[in-house]
Structure 1
Amino acid sequence: MKLNLRSVVLPPLLAIAFAALLCGLALLLSGANPFTAFGAMVAEVGQGTAAVDIINGGATYYLIALAVAIGFQMKLFNIGVEGQYRIAAVVAMIVGGAITLPPGLHALVIMLVAVVAGALYAAIPALLKAYRGVSEVISTIMLNAISLGIVAFLIKPEVFGVLRANSLTTGELPESAHVPGISFGAAGTVFGLGLLSVVAGIGYWVLMNRTRFGFELRASGESTTAATAGGVNAKRMIIAAMLLSGAVAGLTALPELLGRDYTFTQNFPQGYGFSGIAIALLGRNHAGGIAFGALLWAFLDRSALALDNIGVPKEIVTIMQGAIVLSVVVAYEVVRRMQLAAEQRRVGQQLGANPPDDAAAGGNEKPAATSAGGGAA
């Protein structure tokens, strides 16, 4: 029990301390007072729409991090979530703008299209991995680059795009596709589809911890050989994990697109996929840990404005985000090694206190043999 408590409590505490130290050092090197900077960052939460922006940003980050975590559960590094969510977003917006359906049903169809598009784009590296042994890292990196070209092609005016104010878009969605948010007046409006992150988080936890599929997924990640011996089809699990990861990634952009922008433009934010990788690592692939990491990431994004207002380069936020992820990785590795050393010492003490039966038996046989030999003499 003591060991379990230490494994749960100690790593986060070490990570927080190490992260605070690294972030403070980065602020000092930038010429800022760490206490003043941290104070400004916390105070920013209560200003204007900051709190709502953090919630909205956290919901988006949570979805993309869950997509990454699904792959991580099977030791698959799906770097391609960046391309998968962009392909899903542009395809969903094109389809959504081309059809007319009743409110509610229209948004639901757009979501289904996004899920299918994300899953299909993830199917490419999945099939290459399962049947040709191609590293998913290499294939997804290539597909991220290809996705930029596909998106640029699809939103050309002669294809599906619309030129508006010197910006190429997919055209604005009809009002029937809009998803209303939860208004807090001057404090801002929480995206209505932000609830997707809550549903996805619950579904992820149940899938991984309460279903046979989740057990087989994690077992395949630990050892494909052992999983195969236990009757699990490793190739099928690779494909299933990648498809599910791509499907969740496809939902990432929808809270913004259906709740605020209503169109996909060339200027749509990039980098969600790479942030999702960092957040999944930060949350250790746990639904609750990822939620904390997503909100922290969104908080740091918003803090860039507060730091800029007090003369601190806003780029320092990127350094702080990297320092936090590094701190978590280092903290868990330190605690793992401490636990391993403690376990080795415990086993050594038990072996010293209770020698093996064959050794004890061997010790008794030698005097008997000597005694017999003496008698013969």
Structure 2
Amino acid sequence: MNVVRGKLLPPVLAIVFAALLCSIALLVSGGNPASALTAMVAQVGEGTTAVDIVNSASVYYLAGLAVAIGFQMNLFNIGVEGQYRVGAVVAAIVGGAISLPAGLHAAVIIVVAALAGAAYAAIPAILKVTRGVNEVIATIMLNAIAAGVVAFLISQDAFGVLRGNNIGTAEIAETGWVPGISFGSNGTVFGLVLLAAAVGVGYWVMMNRSRFGFELRASGESATAASAGGVNAKRMVLVAMLLSGAMAGLVTMPELLGRDHTYLITSPTGYGFTGIAVALLGRNHPGGVALGALLWAFLDKSALALDNVGVPKEIVTIMQGTIVLSVVVAYEIVRRLELAAEQRRVGRQNSGNGGAPGQPAGASAGGV
């Protein structure tokens, strides 16, 4: 019963709470909650919306997993935003400058993106383990620096190529493209959606079927206890941040190799912050993060339908924030309920033992 309550009650509470708050927000905005939801669901079957949801979800999923690795270690890696942008621009520059056979070309670009993301994540990691600098402060500052680095690298004085009114890296040759799965007029699913799925499987195996994953979770629960058990807490912090950065570097690979083939100064931003929300929704579990990514992508892509029912599409932003808040609150409520239940259970056991923990009922404190 406790397992069922711990696993099922939080998401049920979150759904109910989020539905209630979202309905209130829609009513305040002058909309009908039922009509708005119907329009959004119906939008999924229109044009390329369904494919767009899957493609966006693959990007959000990679960002969510990058954040989740840090969360497992009790590290708040806000720097995924900067790490994925640095990884993307470096990979695009290298990809546009080299010529390799098909398959190998794309593989090199993906590896470069992961290495560049890891290298950028190494900065706050080293600062934390050597100087105790809080990773939140360091990564926030590095996000701002990353924006400047990307702008410089894409400039015409560096590696930028002007195309009309836009500027970006040199276009990657066709040998570096990853073909997608075409659904005709309904759009094309990025080929690297499969990479996102593979990364999710690898993440689950690492966290649940390896000694490293056990040590990572143990260090996140209690660095002191983990150190007493022979785990080097500082090394775990460093490795966790490097893995998080490497995964962050992969975030835009589905778009870069499947659609854009160049990194533009106007390329989308904000994926790193979306990853934080998606990781919170999924509670760091790869399956939960996948559902969170699909939900977030659904809200993003189906928001256009709200204009047809007289509801401003900006209400979706409120809905997304409400859902994240609902999940956090629901899990905290259940955690406190479980803690209170455990305290009552221990109290009953102690009362049955005459008030002395671990002492048989009826035994004297001074006797044998």
Question: Residue type of the partner of 2:341?
Answer: A
Partners of 2:172 and 2:70 lie apart in 1 by 32
Q: What is the SS of the residue equivalent to 1:46?
A: coil
Give 1:314's aligned residue.
313
Deviation at 1:351, TM superposition (A): 2.3
Q: What is the SS of the residue equivalent to 1:344?
A: helix
TM-score (norm 2): 0.97
Quick check: 1:145 aligned with 2:144? yes
Contact 1:303 1:317 in 2 (8 A): no
Deviation at 1:362, TM superposition (A): 4.0
Partners of 2:40 and 2:185 lie apart in 1 by 20
Deviations 1:126-184 (A, max 9, x none): 00001100000000000000001001100111210001111111021111111100001
Give 2:244's aligned residue.
245
Give 1:58's aligned residue.
57
Question: Residue type of the partner of 2:247?
Answer: V
Partners of 1:154 and 1:89 lie apart in 2 by 11
Partners of 1:156 and 1:279 lie apart in 2 by 32
Query: Can you give the 5+ residue segments of structure 1 that lack an aligned partner in the other structure?
Result: 366-377
Partners of 2:84 and 2:154 lie apart in 1 by 16
Quick check: 1:102 aligned with 2:101? yes
Deviations 1:311-343 (A, max 9, x none): 211111111000001001111111111111222
Contact 1:161 1:171 in 2 (8 A): yes
Question: Residue type of the partner of 2:275?
Answer: G
Give 1:285's aligned residue.
284
Partners of 1:127 and 1:199 lie apart in 2 by 29
Q: Between 309-318 and 242-251, report the one with greater CA deviation.
A: 309-318
Give 1:82's aligned residue.
81
Question: Residue type of the partner of 2:162?
Answer: L
Question: Residue type of the partner of 2:335?
Answer: R
Partners of 1:155 and 1:363 lie apart in 2 by 77
Q: In the TM superposition, what are the counterparts of 1:292-303 in structure 2 within 5 Å? A: 292-303=291-302
Q: What is the SS of the residue equivalent to 2:167?
A: strand
Q: What is the SS of the residue equivalent to 2:158?
A: coil
Deviation at 1:101, TM superposition (A): 0.6
Partners of 1:347 and 1:149 lie apart in 2 by 56
Give 2:228's aligned residue.
229
Partners of 2:334 and 2:219 lie apart in 1 by 25
Question: Residue type of the partner of 1:344?
Answer: Q
Quick check: 1:31 aligned with 2:23? no
For the aligned residue pairs, the C-alpha RMSD in angstroms reads 1.3
Contact 2:352 2:361 in 1 (8 A): no
Partners of 1:154 and 1:114 lie apart in 2 by 15
Partners of 2:310 and 2:162 lie apart in 1 by 38
Runs of 4+ in 1 over 6 A off after TM superposition: none
Give 1:267's aligned residue.
266
Partners of 1:125 and 1:238 lie apart in 2 by 10
Deviation at 1:358, TM superposition (A): 7.9
Quick check: 1:127 aligned with 2:126? yes
Q: Alignment identity in percent? A: 70
TM-score (norm 1): 0.94
